[in-house]
């Protein structure tokens, strides 16, 4: 399946309002005990002074891209950044997809705040995990994988997976990111996307779950009772060490349930994120204690539950260089500077601020 054959993105469907999310979250919090409340709080973000919530629609622009900690080397070819994990050479297919996403983000932000803001960094990073998914898809000869993503952040990796036809579901605990993900997925996937916050319960019937699903944390928190989501791959990048240890324990156990019937079964991540709530060693220990086996470590981390069907041959492929997504075998690659347009008008004030204090040249 080629992304290029996809229909035009649909108009944004604004069904999950900030107020509706807030009301439902408050209702959920009222019913939680200490363990659940602590497990599903955005503590690391808050401890680092990040703003986790928006009060008005225009503020969601804040969650469309991330510049803090960004290195300009990401824009030039030939680099590899493990945390994402991305090699900074992009195929023509990837450039086409990134450009389409970029255009969509401008459309969304124009609706949000009357100004077209672009995405310059985070969608590039999303290509790293997307390539791994494509490599696994090819490896097990399954065109449409079942993917569950924990904490998608700006959401671009998951969007690319969904655009490629995979069945994709995700959850997030941060209101701002969650609402941004909703706008992004609604815009690009239209009726194929189901938002489960705002009064939409998914019930117990897996068939009722649409191809792309979005769950608020309070529904994710209850999945252990009866989980209708099946997954071949769990993606949880740059967040395992940032989540509360109880959340981590829950994620690794629930992920096992989701992957129980898979022909493959692997939790993948480039890095564990900021080692704020746990160290990398603690995260690995949690995975081992929960019955996972570390299988892949060179380009990204891959842990599979006991009884997995990942063969040594598959591991050998995944330990090697993950190929670009290049459906037509064009071979040629581009650096981000070749295709990104750094139009001042499309940069947020935050971008300009960070650029100033980082001594970035004019891009």
Binding residues (CB under 8 A) for other proteins: these are 48-51, 54-56, 58-59, 61-62, 66-68, 348-351, 353-354, 356-359
What is the distance between the alpha carbons of residues 345 and 342, in angstroms, rounded to a whole number?
Answer: 9
What is the distance between the alpha carbons of residues 360 and 340, in angstroms, rounded to a whole number?
Answer: 16
What is the distance between the alpha carbons of residues 145 and 133, in angstroms, rounded to a whole number?
Answer: 8
**Min. distance of Cβ 355 from other proteins in angstroms?**
10
Phi, psi of 82 (to 5 degrees): -65, -40
**Min. distance of Cβ 4 from other proteins in angstroms?**
33
**Min. distance of Cβ 68 from other proteins in angstroms?**
5
**Min. distance of Cβ 125 from other proteins in angstroms?**
15
**Min. distance of Cβ 23 from other proteins in angstroms?**
20
Chain centre distance of CA 283: 19
Q: Which is nearer to other proteins, 42 or 296 (CB)?
A: 42
| CA distances for 10 relative to 31, 185, 188, 317, angstroms | 37, 10, 6, 37
Q: Which is nearer to other proteins, 62 or 230 (CB)?
A: 62
Q: Which is nearer to other proteins, 66 or 186 (CB)?
A: 66
Directed axis angle between helix 122-139 and helix 156-163, to 10°? 40
Q: How many Cβ atoms are within 10 Å of 200's Cβ, its own excluded?
A: 17
Do β-strands 301-305 and 266-269 pair in parallel, antiparallel, or remain unpaired? Answer: antiparallel
Q: How many Cβ atoms are within 10 Å of 180's Cβ, its own excluded?
A: 27
**Min. distance of Cβ 348 from other proteins in angstroms?**
6
What is the distance between the alpha carbons of residues 211 and 327, in angstroms, rounded to a whole number?
Answer: 22
Q: Which is nearer to other proteins, 61 or 127 (CB)?
A: 61
Q: How many Cβ atoms are within 10 Å of 184's Cβ, its own excluded?
A: 28
**Min. distance of Cβ 257 from other proteins in angstroms?**
34
| CA distances for 40 relative to 23, 96, 214, 243, angstroms | 17, 36, 16, 8
Q: Which is nearer to other proteins, 50 or 81 (CB)?
A: 50
Q: Which is nearer to other proteins, 313 or 344 (CB)?
A: 344
Token code pair at residue 151: 């904490």
Q: Which is nearer to other proteins, 69 or 312 (CB)?
A: 69
């Amino acid at each position: 399946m080629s992304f290029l054959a996809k229909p035009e993105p649909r108009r944004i469907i604004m069904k999950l309002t900030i107020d509706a999310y807030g009301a439902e979250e408050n209702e959920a919090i009222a019913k939680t005990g200490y363990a659940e409340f602590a497990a599903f709080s955005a503590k690391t973000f808050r401890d680092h002074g990040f703003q986790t919530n928006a009060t008005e629609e225009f503020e969601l622009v804040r969650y469309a891209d991330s510049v803090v900690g960004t290195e300009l080397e990401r824009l030039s070819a030939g680099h590899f950044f493990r945390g994402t994990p991305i090699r900074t050479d992009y195929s023509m297919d990837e450039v086409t997809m990134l450009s389409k996403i970029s255009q969509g983000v401008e459309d969304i932000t124009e609706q949000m705040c009357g100004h077209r803001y672009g995405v310059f960094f985070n969608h590039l990073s999303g290509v790293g995990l997307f390539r791994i998914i494509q490599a696994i898809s090819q490896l097990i000869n399954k065109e449409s994988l079942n993917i569950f993503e924990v904490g998608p952040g700006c959401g671009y990796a998951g969007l690319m997976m969904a655009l490629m036809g995979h069945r994709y579901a995700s959850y997030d605990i941060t209101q701002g990111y969650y609402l941004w993900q909703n706008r992004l997925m609604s815009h690009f996937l239209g009726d194929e996307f189901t938002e489960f916050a705002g009064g939409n319960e998914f019930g117990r019937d897996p068939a009722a779950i649409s191809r792309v699903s979005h769950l608020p944390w309070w529904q994710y928190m209850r999945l252990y009772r009866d989980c209708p989501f099946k997954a071949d791959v769990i993606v949880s990048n740059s967040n395992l060490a940032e989540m509360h240890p109880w959340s981590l324990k829950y994620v690794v156990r629930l992920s096992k349930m989701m992957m129980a019937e898979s022909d493959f079964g692997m939790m993948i991540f480039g890095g564990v994120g900021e080692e704020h709530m746990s160290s990398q060693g603690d995260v690995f220990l949690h995975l081992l204690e929960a019955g996972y086996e570390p299988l892949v470590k060179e380009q990204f981390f891959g842990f599979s539950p006991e009884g997995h069907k990942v063969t040594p041959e598959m591991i050998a492929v995944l330990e090697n260089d993950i190929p670009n997504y290049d459906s037509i075998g064009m071979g040629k690659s581009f650096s981000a500077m070749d295709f990104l347009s750094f139009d001042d008008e499309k940069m947020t004030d935050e971008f300009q601020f960070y650029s100033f204090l980082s001594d970035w040249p004019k891009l």
